[in-house]
Chains A and B, each alone.
Chain A
Amino acid sequence: MVAAVMSDAAPSAAKRRTWTTSINAWLLLLPAIVLLATFTHYPILATLYHSFFSLGRSGPAEFIGLDNYRYMLDDDVFRQVLRNNFIFAIATVPTSIALALLMAVWVDKKIVGRSFLRLAFFTPTVLPMIAVANIWLFFYTPDYGLLDQFLRFLGFAGHNWLGDPATVMSCLAVMVVWKEAGFFMIFYLAALQTIPPELKEAASVEGASRWYFFRRVTLPLLMPTTLFISINALINSFKLVDQLVIMTKGGPNNASSLLLYYIYEVAFNFWDTTYAATLTVTLITILAAVALTKFVYLDRRIHYQ
């Protein structure tokens, strides 16, 4: 009797329950969705929309199709900053990763003062970029900067490191590597500590040298971490421009300017908002492509435990 009643009521009750569950789920997601939509998705779409319009300083904004993009491709400054950005990425990403790995392997060993070393390597990460830029500005200042004083002590002539288009990018790259490597080291350190010590023992019984073990076991097992770090480093190389504001303002003659800094200049110094929107869409496309490579292509090819 009871069973019969229950089986009668079951379908509608089940349906009601699914309903309530979905409502609950949506309600829980709502705050996040609202925030994301207001501050991420809507601005992106608005930016895309604006990039198809003229500026409208005199009169209303007009739809001009791809004119902004055409202009962008002819813009020498845009080409330069894009080239700068790629050079900057190629200079900083592999170096900071290699350095991070080296430091992680070093402080993973049982050595005296290990915690101190770890802290020392990690310190640059906790400093704000603005502070870092100011510190390094002092290193690079002509004549009385640390670098020049040191060179003079050795008997070399001084150099305007940040004022010379030939050296400015390298100077900034060195600084960014210094700041980023410690952060990436933490990821490598965490990953190294998940590798069971028996693997090393098994390899040593088989007669594998430390280098062989590193190459054939440690490195492959660190691949997921390396991938994660390189994506982050790549994105950072497009995202991190605070140092330019403090140190070079993109100069001399745009030699150190990066895409995001150029966007900032176009938008807030030249007030060309639609062109800035166009540049922003380009930047977002680049970053999205990087992220997509990770999710679609690389994740499949790299061993995950």
Chain B
Amino acid sequence: MSEIVVNAVSKSWGGVGGVDRISFKAEAGTLLVLLGPSGCGKSTTLRLIAGLEEVDSGTITIGGRDVTHLSPAERRISMVFQSYALFPHLNVAENIIFGLKVRRVGRAEREARLKKVADIVGLSHLLERKPSQLSGGQRQRVALGRAIIAEAPVCLMDEPLSNLDAKLRHEMRTEIRSLQQRLGMTMVYVTHDQTEAMTMADRVILMRDGHIEQNGAPHELYNEPASDFTARFIGTPPMNIIGWRDGSLLGVRPEHISLVERDGVSARVKAVEYLGADSIILCDTDGGTVCVRQTGYCSLPAGAQVELGWQNCHIHLFDKDSGKRRTGGVSPH
């Protein structure tokens, strides 16, 4: 099958940007998400796998075949570009079947596959339109259609849903995931939306400044963040990180903090965000601002004095300087 192995790959432009000696593996038939803030090297990694950028050093194999120096076409992949890259003079249908035409797929099969894909991405009624006559989200779906119609064993997607509204994004997310599983595609999916990452991924790679911060299953990133960066990135709202004794940082998730009667950390309510199913209480403490998640509606007024408490099993400790997770010897209070 076609697993992707990236081995110690570096790429920079005159020493700046790009990625630095990254290694990871996407198992065949799984969905790997590259997650990270803007400019951390997600697109670069994807383009290196696609062969649109030359590696400076390192190797890339797809399905056991060394593709490091092969052209994009020889790598047998399909791709959704961050900027869509639609052909402006071709209509939606022609854009979607562009690759099939290149590969001389017969007309009947082309039509059949187009119909199926147009249904999936919800563009059946717009097939005659030119890209300039489409909304941003519709263009994005054309790009998506062009990638999935190829039925390539490896599919690379660069933020394919960034321009869709919440409802459509949720639908497409489910659609892409089920398609990927049904066709057994190996998919590398770039996003900076952690909800997308957590819900779709078999494995998430969190990147930062051109290197891999953490590589693991979604629950691993959530439950055992390897650094305070991961802790601050994953979760809505993310983990609370406050300065603690002996040069360490203490992290605890909002849902693991509760308001207690006494013997807690004293804090002052700054604001309450009501989300429906639960409320987020923002509190000021000595160590910084802390978010507390409480189920249901919370009626605390701003300025109220509260005590915060949590259980020892729920805390994470990080080194202040390196940001790395500290294991063992947890001594709270």
Q: Report which A residues bind B (CB closer than 8 A).
A: 196, 198-199, 201-208, 212, 217, 220-221, 223, 303, 305
Contact = CB atoms under 8 A, between A and B. Distances in A.
B85 A201 contact: yes
A168 to B, nearest CB: 42
Interface stretch (B74-82, B165-173, B182-190): B74-82
Contacts of B132: 305
Contacts of B112: none
A208 B73 CA distance: 8
Contacts of A202: 79, 81, 85, 87, 98, 146
Contact of B73 (A196, A199, A205, A305): A205
B98 A206 contact: yes
Give the size range of B's interface with the partner: 20 to 34
Given A206-B78, A212-B102, A305-B132, 13 more contacts: A196-B85, A199-B87, A201-B52, A205-B72, A206-B146, A207-B102, A207-B103, A208-B98, A208-B99, A217-B87, A217-B89, A303-B130, A305-B88
A221 B73 contact: no
B201 interface: no
Contacts of B50: 201, 205
B60 to A, nearest CB: 15
Contact of B78 (A196, A204, A205, A221): A205
A209 to B, nearest CB: 8
Interface string B50-64: 101000000000000
Given A198-B81, A305-B132, A204 B72 contact: yes
With most chain B CB atoms within 10 A of its CB, the pick from A202, A203, A204, A305 is A202
Interface of B: 50, 52, 71-73, 77-79, 81, 83-85, 87-89, 98-99, 102-103, 130, 132, 146, 150
A206 B102 contact: yes
Contacts of A221: 88-89
B21 to A, nearest CB: 25
A198 B72 CA distance: 13
A203 B103 contact: no
Contacts of B87: 199, 202, 217
Contacts of B71: 204
Nearest to A204: B72
B81 A203 contact: no
List 3 A-B pairs, minimum CB-CB distance, nearest first.
A206-B99, A198-B85, A207-B73
A55 B5 CA distance: 89
Contacts of A205: 50, 52, 72-73, 77-79, 99
Nearest to A208: B102
A303 B103 CA distance: 25
A220 B72 CA distance: 24
Contacts of A303: 88-89, 130
11 contacts: A196-B83, A198-B83, A201-B72, A201-B81, A202-B146, A205-B79, A206-B78, A208-B73, A208-B99, A217-B87, A305-B88
Given A212-B102, A305-B132, A204 B85 contact: no
Contacts of A199: 85, 87
B83 A204 contact: no
A204 B73 contact: yes
A277 to B, nearest CB: 45
A201 B78 CA distance: 11
A208 B132 CA distance: 23
Contacts of A212: 102
B81 to A, nearest CB: 5
Nearest to B71: A204
Contacts of B72: 201, 204-205
Contacts of A198: 81, 83-85
A13 to B, nearest CB: 41
Contacts of B78: 205-206
A216 to B, nearest CB: 8
Contacts of B85: 196, 198-199, 201-202
B82 to A, nearest CB: 9
Contacts of B99: 205-208
Given A198-B81, A198-B83, A305-B132, A203 B88 contact: no
Contacts of A220: 89
A201 B143 CA distance: 13
A202 to B, nearest CB: 4
A202 B52 CA distance: 9
